[in-house]
Chains A and B, each alone.
Chain A
Amino acid sequence: DGGITQSPKYLFRKEGQNVTLSCEQNLNHDAMYWYRQDPGQGLRLIYYSQIVNDFQKGDIAEGYSVSREKKESFPLTVTSAQKNPTAFYLCASSMQSGLNYGYTFGSGTRLTVV
């Protein structure tokens, strides 16, 4: 079945550590996105990529980095510069052309700083 796979489901990070969240899709979607969700709030865009080897900052990119070396993959690194990284991270993908730009989301990664 086509879909988006995020891993791990739960991740614990020590202070000062970088961690990388994985996002893989087999939907042949051009665009991929990373969102952050804090308790009781909506989603905020961290980074997005419309094509391979290209990505743009979203609204809250500070302390995060991404790469898009393959169409299927869009990993997110939470660096030690991100002062409040505890949150639920969601990856999504969509087509860039056609009649339906509907997003497909992964099941998310819950990151906790310990």
Chain B
Amino acid sequence: GIQVEQSPPDLILQEGANSTLRCNFSDSVNNLQWFHQNPWGQLINLFYIPSGTKQNGRLSATTVATERYSLLYISSSQTTDSGVYFCAVAEYGNKLVFGAGTILRVKS
């Protein structure tokens, strides 16, 4: 099955810093999503982005489907950005396979 690798596994930032999270996948996909899991376990969908670039406030994402990777950019990080960021993909349909996640800690 399709493999999803996220990097880095852990990231510590000072408040106000910028960061880039990466997601590599092993096969062509028609569905790619980024999620944020807060410390209480709630998963929030950040982007549905099988290709191209999207922006939502301080967050943006780019997927280069032909090269099988996606990037999530966080600018001017805040302590509330802390948590785990997951990338998830599907080769077809909507059955997502999740990566292991990137743990982000933003210090004030």
Contact = CB atoms under 8 A, between A and B. Distances in A.
Nearest to A104: B45
Interface residues of A, number: 26
Contacts of B69: none
Nearest to B86: A42
Contact of A107 (B42, B48, B95, B96): B42
A45 B97 CA distance: 8
Interface string B37-58: 0001111110010000000000
B101 A88 contact: no
Interface of A is mostly: strand
Interface in B26-45: 31, 33, 35, 40-45
Nearest to A96: B94
Given A42-B101, A104-B45, A58 B95 contact: yes
Nearest to A105: B43
A102 B99 contact: no
B98 interface: yes
Top 10 A-B pairs, shortest CB-CB distance: A102-B48, A105-B43, A42-B98, A43-B98, A42-B100, A102-B45, A108-B41, A101-B94, A100-B48, A107-B42
